[in-house]
Amino acid sequence: MPPEWKFFHLTTLEIQAPNAPLSYAATLSESLKDGIQNNTRLLLSNTLDQAQVQIEGVIMNYSVSPIALVEGDNAAQNRLSISVRFTIFTTEPEEDEMTVTSTRFVDYTSSQDFATVETALLEEINTQIIQDLINKLLSNW
């Protein structure tokens, strides 16, 4: 991470995945802000002018699909998959732009009601997506 980077700004993610809950964009956005602040030296800026790193994102996919079929074409396991495309703009040490896509999934037994386990599944996937973004920010561009 270049020493010139001190502040970041993250706009609330946009949802393009028709099955994603309406609140998911705000929830993931806040988790990303917390994750970046807690795991890097970057500080959150409320204005674009102050930020050397500007992050935008789009939730491209949010889907549940069967993955392990058993007798009678029933699913023994289902998979929640989420894809988020981030665009990272930097102003220091030079202007640059990078697009990063994070696709993560978690499996659960089909006997579990999705509405009951969805929050826990999202927390698990969100942790992985946050780590993907942090890894990109910390890597050599």
Q: What is the CATH number of the domain that holds 66?
A: 3.30.160.150
109-131 pLDDT, tens digit each? 988 889 899 999 999 999 999 99
Q: CA gyration radius for the chain?
A: 17
Residue 100, classed as helix, strand or coil, is strand
Query: What domain range includes position 85?
Result: 7-138
What pTM does this model have? 0.89
40-67 pLDDT, tens digit each? 999 999 888 899 999 999 999 999 998 8
Residue 112 in tokens: 């579990």
Whether 113 is in a domain gets the answer yes
Q: Indicate the number of domains in the chain.
A: 1
pLDDT over threshold 60, residue 141: no
Mean per-residue pLDDT over the chain, rounded:
93
Task: Please say whether the beta carbons of 133 and 36 come within 8 A.
Answer: yes
Whether 2 is in a domain gets the answer no
How far is 57 from 29, CA to CA, in rounded Å? 9
